[in-house]
Amino acid sequence: MQAWNDAARLADRKWDKVMGEVWPEAQGEVTSELGTGMPDAVVFAPNTHELLVRLFAAASGSWPIRVLTSDGEFHSARRQFARWEEAGAAQIDRVPVEPFDTFSDRFLKAAKSGDHGFIFVSQVLFNSGRMFDRVEELAALGKPDGPWVVIDGYHAFMASDRPFGERAAQTAFYVGGGYKYAMSGEGCAFLHAPPGFGERPRITGWYAEFEDLTLPPGAVGYAKDAMRFMGATFDPSALYRFTAVRRMLRENGLTTDRISAFVAALQQQLLGSIGNSPLSGAELLNPLDGGPHARFLAFRSPNAQRWHEQLKARNVITDVRGEVLRIGFGIYQDEADVDRLAGVLGAL
């Protein structure tokens, strides 16, 4: 409503407010959550796929570029890397995520080989909920002339407290978005871009020179901060939503740590109550071990697809990827909801 009212009241002058107030506030909120202290290094886009495309194009001095990633990335990244490989623009090395207990060590070892120009990995693997826990060491490998290290933090942002930090922010990129735990809906993806990396991106919109519209015709100028990765005109309502949610959480004392602890208790309650349900025979891919944890539990079973459909028929919304059923929790649920869920699971 605020975005609409500003647009109706200010018309074309709304951009003065968007870029002068809303955008900087959103940058500050992302920076605060990541723990980087670098608001000027944050830029927004409608989705992380768009940011991945801009990054890859900017990193590619010549094609094909050698890419290191995992075999457990989100669909858009998996598909895009496969297409670039098919087109001869990339040579892809994929580190298997299983066995999970050794994934972080194996991925870091492969990254240290020095053979890659572009390194991309999820901090929380979307399918299994397992975590890549060597972010700072991986980030230290990043250099302006390659390799570029990109951390996909979509399932870590506002699910893990300060998931990036000041040191990693100096030499690595970080992408995330508002559609999951930031509770801000679609259209609010962000990129942290370390200074000195990709000063003249190949894919560029007119907002990338927003601060300098006095350049002579034909000149391609760039902002010195993360705005150099900007595209063109966008819908700013997502930024209004994001900043409103962040203010609401702060006013109610709801930090990421506090929310994570609340969710972990609900997850523990569910695990303690499914002993008599068919779910007890499934493999829990991301056990609760007391450390940082995904906001969902991932159960692997040949029955996952059938369970998902049975639950949906009972208006219980879960997610299924192949043989993995994911059950997520948030601050809008409580112990009574878990009890109800356990009862439904027992009837599968």
Q: How far is CA 162 from the centre of its chain?
A: 13
Q: Whole-prediction pTM value?
A: 0.95
Does the CA dihedral 310-313-315-321 come out positive or negative? Answer: positive
- Number of structural domains (the chain) is 2
How do beta strands 148-152 and 118-122 pair?
Answer: parallel
Radius of gyration of the chain from its Cα atoms, rounded to whole angstroms: 21
CATH code for the domain in which residue 298 is found: 3.90.1150.10
163 and 283 together in one domain: no
Q: Which residue has the tokens 């500003």?
A: 6
User: What pLDDT is stored for residue 291 in this prediction?
Assistant: 83
- Residues 176 and 186: their CA atoms lie apart, in Å, by 12
Domain span holding position 83: 2-250
Q: Quick count: other Cβ atoms within 10 Å of Cβ 283? A: 11
CB 194 within 8 A of CB 171: yes
CB 88 within 8 A of CB 94: no
Query: At CA 225, angle to CA 230 and CA 73, rounded to 5?
Result: 55
User: What pLDDT is stored for residue 61 in this prediction?
Assistant: 74
User: What pLDDT is stored for residue 218 in this prediction?
Assistant: 76
CB 2 within 8 A of CB 130: no
User: Of the residues 193, 215, 250, which one is the last residue of a structural domain?
Assistant: 250
User: Of the residues 223, 250, 277, which one is the last residue of a structural domain?
Assistant: 250
Q: What is the mean pLDDT of the chain?
A: 95
315 and 190 together in one domain: no
Give all strands (DSSP E) within the chain, no chain letters.
42-45, 65-70, 90-95, 118-122, 148-152, 173-177, 189-192, 283-284, 296-300, 319-321, 324-328
User: What pLDDT is stored for residue 138 in this prediction?
Assistant: 98
233 and 262 together in one domain: no
User: What pLDDT is stored for residue 214 in this prediction?
Assistant: 65
CB 81 within 8 A of CB 92: yes
The stretches in the chain having pLDDT less than 70 are 210-214
User: Of the residues 203, 221, 250, which one is the last residue of a structural domain?
Assistant: 250
32 and 173 together in one domain: yes
199 and 286 together in one domain: no
246 and 297 together in one domain: no
Could you tell me which of 236, 195, 190 has the C-alpha nearest to residue 43? 190
User: What pLDDT is stored for residue 130 in this prediction?
Assistant: 96
3-class secondary structure per residue, 284-315: ECCCCCCCCCCCEEEEECCCHHHHHHHHHHCC
**Phi, psi values for residue 16, rounded to 5°:** -65, -40
**Phi, psi values for residue 189, rounded to 5°:** -85, 155
